[in-house]
Amino acid sequence: MSDKDLELLVELAKEKLRKGVSKEDAIESFVKAGIMDTQGEYTEPYRQLEELAS
């Protein structure tokens, strides 16, 4: 990944933070990343996050 690619990703993240993210959009991102399933439950490798989130 080039420095320019990294800069673009950082700007994209900053823009999303400025706009805000809905709960549904956040869960959708976690599902796409494999962190949560479609029911909003953490997948096996990330079950420990549930304890931190509560």
16-42: per-residue pLDDT in tens?
889 888 888 888 989 999 999 998 899
- The torsion defined by the Cα of 10, 15, 18 and 24, in degrees rounded to 10, comes to -100
Q: What is the overall mean pLDDT for the chain?
A: 87
Domain extent listing, the chain: 20-54
pLDDT at 43: 94
Residue given tokens 């869960």 in the structure block:
27
pLDDT at 54: 67
Q: Which helix (H) or strand (E) holds 53?
A: helix 47-53
d(CA 4, CA 50): 35
- Written as one letter, the residue type at 41 is E
Residue given tokens 């996050």 in the structure block:
49
Question: What is the reported pTM?
Answer: 0.59
